[in-house]
Amino acid sequence: MNYSNLFVCLMGVGTVFVGLVCIIALVSVMSYICTKTDKVMQKRAIPAPAAAPVAVSSSVVTPEMVAAVSAAIAEEMGTSVDAIRIVSMKKL
């Protein structure tokens, strides 16, 4: 059977259009289901207890902070922690 070029183009465009409409419909249905499920889950959710505040002075740089920063710098530079020297450090 010999089909004309116009028929082939229209069938291709029609197939793509129908496929896109199906995808839009599926996404809309899934969005509706997720919003309804999320509302039900929020009603059942138990609030987590608040974490206890850590008592750290805002102007003090602790040795743990210096160790963490120096380890991160050494990792980024690809060297050992012994190879870097931190002269001063201020907490902002």
CA distance 28 to 47: 30
pLDDT digits (tens, 9 = 90+) for 46-89: 666 776 665 555 667 788 888 888 999 999 999 888 888 888 88
* DSSP H helices in 1-92: 5-44, 63-77
In the chain, the percentage of residues whose pLDDT exceeds 70 is 82
The structure's pTM equals: 0.43
